[in-house]
Structure 1
């Protein structure tokens, strides 16, 4: 039997990039027993743009289509099933300020559609009921209800839906808001516990090989021999480790999951691709005045204006992650760039690259974090007493195509046996893995008979079975290694 035929019998896959997409794809393949090598130039996995939200319905984005919202809901449900240890089980409050051009009533049609879609998903498969009962997917609260909740004592742990609103009702400037506000079952997603989960699962799976601090410096596509069963090409890669040593590899299928640097691999292959890259940052504040368990709080606003959306994400022990969709906070002047005719890699200005690869200027950390605190304090005045907590959470996000508002995306294909994972939101990673598996079947890299229904179900038993204590413990270590407070890795658990 020729070497090519033996490789088809035992396919080998390279995944380049160990972010949320690359790690999830590598886990999905290696859990099926497909020999998978995951390369990442960094020292740990899932270290990219700030993520904190499951996006189970896309309610943070008023301007995207219903279809994108439905896709995000479905993908979030699948993500929650696989990454339960990485979910912060607390809801999200959605509100509109009095300065907004829209009204809360304008949000209701989509909320009802999402509620109905969630109900239909449960009717198809009862295991989809991971966001609670469909009738509780969202709840409206009028001003009078919040005024009554503000009179109650704040419980240490939330045991009912109303309990989540008590600390918010006590703190919100109700005169600054339109009513009703909505409590939605959109939960948190913890980047540090995702990193820990990916690392623990990858190192325990026999079919996986993890190569950290390895950069791919060359890639070459070669045709297969005529007697090969597969339609895919041979792929030869060269990696370079931190000592400068080069290593040669051969694979049957390659996944480019390099995040905002996906275009660099495209350029090595001379594969054109239109995409954008956007640098973003979230800021970490410590607020000693926080009482009880908080939901995430979203105050809508027009992106890019001084009244851009404010986002308050709770962590343990008084730490909060802050977004403000203004150019003084989360967004940056010239932070959104697109490809040009000469390259598939959008070129971020050097100061952004310096932030990603080196460090932030201390003065800018102070300025932007304090601006984020002030932005949130417009609506929660007591939050003005919050202090800078740690360094920002930051990174660059790729957006395939030319629509900067795209939020539900997963994968694209060009030459046979080469896939680009192009997720915008973390919850899309499993959808990308499924699309890649379908392509591998199409190209006869793998046989569907070999895996049965495992191809159509997210069969990741090792990942799902990781003990929560082990995940949380490693997550705290990863947070410390990245110079963040260990509290940012702690699970938030609801009693509801």
Structure 2
């Protein structure tokens, strides 16, 4: 399918020109949101492809990975995740998450219940308001605790190829996990996976078909200026193939540069307090344990040797691993803050080298093997897993001063300048909605022209991307980035 075969009826006939700097999850989502409506949108990305930032693997439909964040943030993440599933269904890996507390943990499984009840009640409300919100299964089935006896009863069952009931997801868990190391009950919750490669495929395919979206790859912004008494912007860029400076003019600029957002702020002398954290996840191959696996999270205290261990399954026996210790996912001096002199937090050179150049091979081996060992304390046979690829890595921005902030979307500065400041990818749609509302408030877009699409998501071209073509493009992107194509395949075993 190409651009000419897709019927697109833009809602708006607007003369304003919008620039979005940065083609990650936030920038690409905002570009699609605006271009689908018919707004003239230019997406400027300094890299060769879209959505190529920090590793995405989890939708966070309720924020249950984070005991330490507020209930309010969890409820926000739930709503944002539901919207994300509705807009990008082919990027979602539909399988639940199992959360277990090791006996070494200070908490108790029952401590999770009050928040889970709030999340289930909120999900029920959203489904009652609009049945299209029922994307995480029946609200009554949002979570369930399983006792030791219930898990033991699954030990001798064959691992099915498709899940006909929730307990099917626990069979591999029952057979491979050291159950004696855990507190019971264990939690199964409908928090799904999210594929960065499939998200990148959807945004690339849709942008190719949207005449309102102009994609400028391998383009770096070197200056932004706003003439005195003017609300328009001059954005100056250079490309990899030329030293010439290209000057373009826009009515509105959106900074979606992720961990580099402070560099654009500094061009405008726009003060902003933020943090940047470098993180990594690791790819292991465990071919003898293919089949029906949930995501599994073993809680632990962040930053200690007992930090959380997270196992994310993919097809063909591949797994993505997080370990919230200083020797695995976290890094010494990996969290830095902005200063009074600059809105851009300064990561140490060794992190910048990892982002833009390459990881030392020995470090890849040591950290991946360390993540395998960390997981093997709960899944003993996981010691047989092998290093499968370079790490999935990147730096994420965290606006403000709270390193535990997980639900954030956008901030504004001056006239006609917005910053997309998402921490989790599922917040990207909320950022696009907030900026669209600001375009209306600024008088650049007429509210009457938008109608209910000011709040209703309108993605007809994006949603025409088929599962087959998304998979094909995602696998191409995985190969180009030197990752196993299994990470780009659809992971859905529910009947």
Q: Same fold (TM over 0.5)?
A: yes
Q: Residues of 1 paired with 2:105 and 2:415: CA distance?
A: 48
Q: Residues of 1 paired with 2:396 and 2:223: CA distance?
A: 24
Q: Structure 1 residues 10, 373: CA separation in 2 closer, same or farther (over 3 Å shift)?
A: same
Q: Residues of 2 paired with 1:72 and 1:416: CA distance?
A: 29
Q: 1:189 aligns with which of 177, 190, 194?
A: 194
8 Å Cα contact 1:224/1:234 also seen in 2: no
1:342-382 CA distance string (max 9 Å, x none): 10000000000000001000000000000000101111111
**Is 1:106 aligned to 2:124, yes or no?**
no
Match of 1:13 in 2: 18
RMSD across aligned positions (CA): 1.0
**Is 1:201 aligned to 2:206, yes or no?**
yes
Match of 2:9 in 1: none
8 Å Cα contact 1:167/1:291 also seen in 2: no
SS of residue in 1 equivalent to 2:137 = coil
Matches within 5 A, 1:318-333: 318-333=317-332
Match of 2:333 in 1: 334
**Is 1:247 aligned to 2:232, yes or no?**
no
SS of residue in 2 equivalent to 1:359 = coil
Matches within 5 A, 1:92-491: 92-223=97-228, 233-243=231-241, 244-491=243-490
1:439-478 CA distance string (max 9 Å, x none): 0000011111112111110111111111111111000000
8 Å Cα contact 2:154/2:171 also seen in 1: yes
Q: Residues of 1 paired with 2:434 and 2:448: CA distance?
A: 17
SS of residue in 1 equivalent to 2:482 = coil
**Which structure 1 residue ranges, 5 or more long, are not aligned?**
1-7, 226-232
8 Å Cα contact 2:255/2:418 also seen in 1: yes
TM-score by length of 1: 0.96
Match of 1:78 in 2: 83
1:234-256 CA distance string (max 9 Å, x none): 01111101022321100010000
Q: Residues of 2 paired with 1:308 and 1:202: CA distance?
A: 40
Q: How many residues align?
A: 482
Q: Structure 1 residues 9, 188: CA separation in 2 closer, same or farther (over 3 Å shift)?
A: closer
State the Cα distance separating 1:289 from its structure 2 match.
2.1
Q: Residues of 1 paired with 2:493 and 2:127: CA distance?
A: 22
State the Cα distance separating 1:495 from its structure 2 match.
2.1
**Is 1:64 aligned to 2:75, yes or no?**
no
Which 4+ stretches in 1 moved above 6 angstroms? Answer: none
Q: Structure 1 residues 439, 223: CA separation in 2 closer, same or farther (over 3 Å shift)?
A: farther
Q: Residues of 2 paired with 1:223 and 1:449: CA distance?
A: 31
State the Cα distance separating 1:165 from its structure 2 match.
0.5
1:23-49 CA distance string (max 9 Å, x none): 000000000000000000000000000
**Which structure 2 residue ranges, 5 or more long, are not aligned?**
1-12
8 Å Cα contact 1:301/1:309 also seen in 2: yes
1:66-88 CA distance string (max 9 Å, x none): 00000000000000000101000
State the Cα distance separating 1:159 from its structure 2 match.
2.3
8 Å Cα contact 1:26/1:38 also seen in 2: yes
SS of residue in 1 equivalent to 2:102 = coil
TM-score by length of 2: 0.96
